[in-house]
Structure 1
Amino acid sequence: MRKILSVIIPVYNMEKYIRQCLESLMIREILDKIEILVVLDGSTDRSEKIALEFSKAHPESVRVISKPNGGHGSAINTGMDNAAGEYVKVLDSDDWVNRKGFIRLVEGLEKYDTDIVWSNFFWVYEPSGKKSVQNRHPFPGVEYGRKYDFREIAEKTFVKMHSMTVKTDLVRRTGMRIDENCYYVDVEFVMYPIPEVKTITFLDEFVYMYRLGRQGQSMTLEKMRQNHRNHERVLKSLLRYYRNLKARDTDREYLIYLEKGIANVLSSHFKIYLSFPCSARVCRRLRRMDGTIRGRYPEIYNAVENKFVWAIRKSGYLLYYPGHFIMRLREKLNEV
């Protein structure tokens, strides 16, 4: 049977969470319309055994692919190489989907012939289970169910990984390969296909359940410090990508969208610098990095919306020192 959606699940030693992830997808009404690609990225725990249980029970819908460890991006690349669905969505193995929202998403994919379908997501805090919403709507005045010309909304919103379901062939046309053996590559997956996107439709549904607070999660400030070179590597990859598109006279609407997205990554990099042990050397590195962006990519430099970043810039980076104190204080409070 034709598969409308491929769900790629990168897995590395997630035996504690993968069962919940896979069970959330076992929805009788739509299971025959989707394929679930469990990409085992060199896992050494019981993740494979659990995944094979589901594959054995639902061989027409669940495939298990084993590969040597290459990181999150490598697992997504492998999933893309094997995806047979008309659309593709990435679901991390410690996250899960909301049943009602996921059914509506699959129904929407069958209904709308559009390049990207946007849907909302919840942040779910561990261990309390409390849910919160980052943005209730993608932009003010959105018309849900309408097929937009992407250029019409390019300056109004940014599509994050958890909200994105995209046509498989569109991603493949880009020749996109995400950085391997590297953290923070989600932003590459959502930005590299953008110049090929012509249409987008927004659904008023909460589909993705994004777990926060898990020990060892890559987005904690401690982990971002440990992996700061990975974050810098992704930032540099995006800057090269932007430079190449600009040299090819890509439409301004697409460049504005990418400028906004890369500016968000730059703001996160500021956050990492501010979390390092306070020193004049780190301040000089921050200033040099930001100065390079200003000289080579002024549009991205000016696209930063974070007021804290602009306050540091306008102070001649003298506010780096109190900024460091505030950042570390916030980190300590989050640990309580």
Structure 2
Amino acid sequence: MKKILTITVPSYHTEKYIDECLPTLMDPLINDKIEIIMVNDGSTDGTLAKARSYESKFPDTIRVVDKENGGHGSTINKGIELANGKYFKVVDGDDWVNTEQLINLVTDLESIDVDIVVSPYEDHNMDTHKVKKQVYANAKHGEVVSYDDLVGKAERLPMMHATTFKTSILKKNNIRIDEKMFYVDMEYISFPIPYLESAVYLDYPVYCYRMGTAEQSVNPVNFVKNREMHRKVTYRLVEVYKVLKKAFPSAERTRIFEQQLKDKEIVLDTHICLFIDDVKLGKKEFLDYRENILSLSSNLWLENKSKKIKLLSSKNAILFPFLGKYIKKTGIR
């Protein structure tokens, strides 16, 4: 039977999460309609052995791929390369899904034909035990629309957790994510944008995202430690923006992408610089970063409405030390 959905599960040292993740991806109603590609990214714990045990029990559904460590992007690339399903979704090995809603997703995918499917997801904070549903505003359930219409109404790009792509879009356009890098989720949802035409929103949460763990790359300390990686991702996204600006100068996708770069990625990179303990080093890195953004696409900086960006617009960013004290108190946002 032709597989409807490929689910790639990037896994690095996820032994303690596998029993919370893999069982949620399976159900007798859909096991013959999906394939699960679990990519072990050079784990040295028991991740591979535990994954193999699932593979032996469900050989027609689960495929385990063991590879040397290459980072999150490399596991997505391997999943795209091996995918046989009509649609493609990423579920990180430390997250899980709502099985009932996954069944609904697979059922709906059998009867639709679009380039991208977007659905809500849930943030599960492991510290506070609170659950927050992340919805995609102003979208109508089940209505097939253009990609520009979908993102224009929602005023934001769909995150990785909300996204299911048509596999052929990823394969035909040779979508490849940077390897040996953190923060490549934005690459995954951004690189296909020039090729997306049709979209549909399915108003039920499938993905459950685990938040609040110290080892996450979005932990503030890790942001500073891995800051050069985040900057490199931002530079790659600016290159995507330049492509969109040329190919779709007045399209909603270009406006929203520009807005996301200004409001989130560039502001975040700035906050990370401000968070560095060595103020002199942080300021130097900020000035270099600002110059790079200006040279790549000056409007992203000059037209940025962030108050902190404006306060740091002077030639030598004289307010940098004072803003740094503020950011260290309030945290990276």
TM-score for both structures, normalised by structure 1: 0.90
Task: Determine the C-alpha separation between the residues in 1 that align with 2:18 and 2:303.
Answer: 38
3-state SS of the aligned residue for 1:122? strand
Q: 1:116 to 1:62 in 2, by over 3 A?
A: same
**Aligned-residue offset at 1:204:** 1.1
Task: Determine the C-alpha separation between the residues in 2 that align with 1:244 and 1:196.
Answer: 11
Alignment of 1:25-174 (within 5 A): 25-133=25-133, 135-136=134-135, 138-139=136-137, 141-155=138-152, 156-174=155-173
User: Which residue is 2:242 aligned to?
Assistant: 243
**Aligned-residue offset at 1:51:** 0.9
Deviates more, 1:252-261 or 1:40-49: 252-261
Alignment of 1:1-336 (within 5 A): 1-133=1-133, 135-136=134-135, 138-139=136-137, 141-155=138-152, 156-246=155-245, 249-253=247-251, 254-263=253-262, 264-277=264-277, 279-301=279-301, 304=304, 306-313=306-313, 317-331=317-331
Structure 1 vs Structure 2: percent identity of aligned residues? 31
Task: Determine the C-alpha separation between the residues in 1 that align with 2:303 and 2:69.
Answer: 36
Task: Determine the C-alpha separation between the residues in 2 that align with 1:200 and 1:303.
Answer: 30
Q: 1:328 to 1:298 in 2, by over 3 A?
A: same
Task: Determine the C-alpha separation between the residues in 2 that align with 1:112 and 1:27.
Answer: 21
**Aligned-residue offset at 1:325:** 2.0
**Aligned-residue offset at 1:157:** 2.3
Q: 1:81 to 1:295 in 2, by over 3 A?
A: closer
**Aligned-residue offset at 1:122:** 1.2
3-state SS of the aligned residue for 1:293? helix
**Aligned-residue offset at 1:241:** 3.2
**Aligned-residue offset at 1:104:** 1.9
Q: Which runs of 5+ in 2 are unaligned?
A: none
**Aligned-residue offset at 1:124:** 0.8
Task: Determine the C-alpha separation between the residues in 2 that align with 1:330 and 1:24.
Answer: 37
**Aligned-residue offset at 1:284:** 4.2
Q: 1:67 to 1:90 in 2, by over 3 A?
A: same
Query: 1:154·1:256 contact (CA, 8 Å) conserved in 2?
Result: no
Amino acid at match of 1:56: S
Task: Determine the C-alpha separation between the residues in 2 that align with 1:309 and 1:100.
Answer: 44
3-state SS of the aligned residue for 1:216? coil
TM-score for both structures, normalised by structure 2: 0.90
Task: Determine the C-alpha separation between the residues in 1 that align with 2:95 and 2:12.
Answer: 13
Amino acid at match of 2:74: S
Deviates more, 1:254-263 or 1:311-320: 311-320
Amino acid at match of 1:27: D
Query: 2:21·2:93 contact (CA, 8 Å) conserved in 1?
Result: yes
**Aligned-residue offset at 1:260:** 2.7
Counting matched residue pairs gives 329
Amino acid at match of 1:91: V
Q: 1:44 to 1:243 in 2, by over 3 A?
A: same
Task: Determine the C-alpha separation between the residues in 2 that align with 1:37 and 1:294.
Answer: 41
Q: 1:34 to 1:142 in 2, by over 3 A?
A: same
Superposed CA RMSD in Å reads 2.4
Cα displacement string for residues 251-300 of structure 1 (whole angstroms, at most 9, x for unaligned residues):
53143233233332212211211210152442243244224424541343
Task: Determine the C-alpha separation between the residues in 1 that align with 2:40 and 2:305.
Answer: 38
Task: Determine the C-alpha separation between the residues in 1 that align with 2:308 and 2:104.
Answer: 39
Task: Determine the C-alpha separation between the residues in 1 that align with 2:213 and 2:309.
Answer: 28
**Aligned-residue offset at 1:315:** 11
Q: 1:169 to 1:119 in 2, by over 3 A?
A: same
Query: 1:4·1:110 contact (CA, 8 Å) conserved in 2?
Result: yes
Q: Which runs of 5+ in 1 are unaligned?
A: none
Cα displacement string for residues 115-141 of structure 1 (whole angstroms, at most 9, x for unaligned residues):
1111111111114432123x43x23x3
